[in-house]
Structure 1
């Protein structure tokens, strides 16, 4: 018998759980189905939120033949069989899993069938199609992003499975505690497949009479479903939220996102991002924070998980509560912008390299002033090219005493330049 999650997939568009922005009353996919004007599409989002279900529901609501292939494991010959069937029946909906892994030979075979409309392609992927899918396929499809399922959506799926007499457990005498249902809902992480698999295991492994407790639910779903794909969108969203939480000085949010990243086990990525943050967001407001962050990273790398979480959390807390300054990154980006626009100019003669023949005499003749020969180690002279000599890139912040000191020195130098 097929698994419960497979049996409970919707047979028409009305049975789809969640994704109301696509299949609700005014959703674009529902409108396509109602008008019987289907077009090829790509559905993307985390696992277990309904990509395959929507494809099957579209087929069930339109009576169009449905076939499912995998872009990696199925061959071009498998696609040829689908194409022949489309010729005979007029149209076939083809669900193609892992479409981001489609090779050129299979893609070239599919393209003409997409053009003439015989194959309605529904590509499913967890990767961002704008980055991962070939432009030739993208240009022939509509792209729809699926939203994570809510706890209410997961609860609805579980209740359906418990009451459905044909495909679920409606014919069984099952007592299930509310606390057990709550665990299936919360620990699934929005993955309806995970929750239904755990429910099925709990029912099939239970003694008679069947009574599922919270402990049974925890035994069958011992660890919360956690979506981590270091090459996927979700991972980059967590990394972005992590850095923005530190930048915003929200310790609790930053620790939450750190915990997610630790669960993913990708220590090199965490280490790199922390080091970037220490220079980009804290920067000159607390110059010592970067060296302490590096020390914490080195300790984490030497310890490995699970102990690595300790120095990492220490670094995160310090970075969150440190004063913030992005003056160094904005300064270099401003300078880079000028260089990339071609605003370079000739280097002043007195700054040119003195190692080639005759250069030292040239430098002396045009008056290079050696700063160490002057009080305070500073002497006023032109360093920028003529066309940029009045340019200022560094804009000091007043968020810390250390950068206020830098600002005072910098302002003094600027005043001397203007004399």
Structure 2
């Protein structure tokens, strides 16, 4: 029986791993381990299909170590014993243990001494938060690394590689794919490469060849095999970004119906991660002090949606969109930080005033550091006038309140009171 495309395309060495540059890129921790041949046990956690098994396989291939794969939920203690015996014979085994959060205590107790001795290099894989779901005994003997969803660019690289690989991929088949279909395969799985590759293989094997003997994978074929609609049929691939732009601008413009419409289009295309990220940006960029409580509610809604997934996740997201669209708007926070960073980028930073400098070391007083600092809590109202900005920009004002909501009106009143007190 032929194995699935996603299985066949697993990397054979660390250089073939797609994405996860924070772990396997030049000078990063896992690459350092491989190059130094100093492997240590680890836990890889992140969403399905993002490369946890691939990294384990690549580590084994790069170090020429024996590699075994078990599942903590379904494989027995006897299976672990067989792996340990093999490790004693070969010197060391890299063991990928899927669903490590379901490892029971007898199996855990059996493994622990072999992890400590280095006989077994455990690579635990889980979609759960290991700080919550995995026992302290295992955590203390492993390093914990987060595996992140692949970017669209990473997905495109992996899909193209699978299309052209003549040994493990589809390179021996006469298969062509249009750009819209490629983008849809890359975007719609939300960083799940396994899902995209399996859908790609289905498309290649189930689509009849044309009169020239070529299998043409169109956007329509990609939609059917992925079971997700594209945002629109768009030759240049711009519609993806156009809909996201329209989504934010509709909320910013307080059009609740348009906001829900574009939310629906994004969710219909399976863009849960995009929606969640964009709503967090909107909450703090466009609403901000206009309705600070709405920003906090948006964070809760996003967390609920990520936990629920689709389709149920649409419900808390709809709550957030309606809340944000109908909230008073303010962009004073982003304007303030951009103005402050603009000064810094132009070289208008200046030296920290002496009375604000760190004074918690011997000799600081002799240097005049912290000597004239006034401790605000020692004064009435817990405030006292003193200079905080560097001399060169001591009169700079970055925060300019937008008086659209009661909270920001209160901030503006407090700012005016403090300004007059200087």
Q: Aligned ranges for residues 21-100 of structure 1 at < 5 Å?
A: 21-100=22-101
1:400 aligns with 2:401: no
State the 1:144 CA deviation: 0.9
Report the CA distance shift for 1:142/1:260 in structure 2 as closer, same or farther (over 3 A): closer
Residue of structure 2 equivalent to 1:218: 223
Superposed displacement of residue 247, structure 1: 3.5
Alignment partners' CA distance in 1, 2:317 and 2:112:
52
Q: Deviations over 1:234-260 (max 9, x none)?
A: 9xx98x959966746699999988876
Asked whether 1:166 is paired with 2:163, we answer: no
Q: Which ranges of 4 or more aligned residues in structure 1 deviate by more than 2 Å?
A: 240-265, 305-323
With over 3 angstroms needed to count, the CA separation of the structure-2 counterparts of 1:166 and 1:249, relative to structure 1, is: same
Q: Is the 8 A contact 1:154 1:192 kept in 2?
A: yes
Q: How far 1:175 moved relative to its partner?
A: 1.8
Change (3 A) 1:314 1:180: closer
Task: Give yes or no for the alignment of 1:103 onto 2:104.
Answer: yes
C-alpha offsets along residues 205-227 of structure 1, whole Å, 9 cap, x if unaligned? 010241111100111112279xx
**Cα separation, 1, equivalents of 2:11 and 2:172:** 19
Q: Return the alpha-carbon distance in structure 1 between the equivalents of residues 71 and 320 of structure 2.
A: 41
Identify if the C-alpha distance between structure 1 residues 53 and 261 changes in structure 2 by more than 3 Å, giving closer, same or farther.
closer
Provide the C-alpha distance between the structure 1 equivalents of 2:69 and 2:207, rounded to a whole number of angstroms: 34
Per-residue deviation, 1:263: 5.2
Rounded to whole Å, the distance in 2 between the matches of 1:174 and 1:308 is: 40
Asked if the contact 2:152/2:187 (under 8 Å) is kept, the reply is yes
Which secondary structure state, in structure 2, belongs to the residue aligned with residue 2 of structure 1? coil
Distance 1:115 1:241 in 2: 42
1:117-266 mapped onto 2 (5 Å cutoff): 117-209=118-210, 210-223=215-228, 241=280, 247=293, 264=310
**Matches of 1:28 and 1:21, distance apart in 2:** 8
Q: Which runs of 5+ in 1 are unaligned?
A: 226-233, 266-304, 324-398, 405-419
| Cα distance change on mapping 1:137 and 1:221 into 2, 3 Å | same
Contact 1:242–1:254 (CA<8 Å) still a contact in 2?
no
Cross-structure match for 1:295: none
Question: Which residue pairs with 1:316 in the alignment?
Answer: 323
Structure 1 pair 66/317, CA: closer, same or farther in 2 (3 Å)? same
SS in 2 for 1:199: helix
Q: Distance in 2 between matches of 1:34 and 1:22?
A: 13
Unaligned segments of structure 2, at least 5 residues: 231-272, 285-291, 331-404, 411-422
Query: 2: distance between equivalents of 1:243 and 1:26?
Result: 36
Partner of 1:12: 13
Task: Give the root-mean-square deviation of aligned CA atoms.
Answer: 3.7
**SS of the counterpart of 2:144?**
strand
Aligned partner of 2:418 in structure 1 is: none
- Confirm or deny: 8 A CA contact 2:294 2:324 kept in the other structure: no
Query: What's the CA shift for 1:196?
Result: 0.4
C-alpha spacing 1:309/1:93, structure 2 compared with 1 (3 Å): closer
Alpha-carbon distance in 2 for matches of 1:127, 1:308: 23
Q: Secondary structure at the match of 1:123?
A: strand
Structure 2 counterpart of 1:115:
116
- Alpha carbons 1:242, 1:253 under 8 Å: kept: no
Considering only CA atoms, is the larger Rg found in Structure 1 or Structure 2?
A: 1
Cα distance change, pair 149–172 in 1 and its aligned pair in 2 (3 A): same
1:25 Cα shift?
1.0
| Equivalent residues in 2 for 1:272-287, closer than 5 Å | none
Q: Is the 8 A contact 1:10 1:56 kept in 2?
A: yes
How many residues get paired? 281
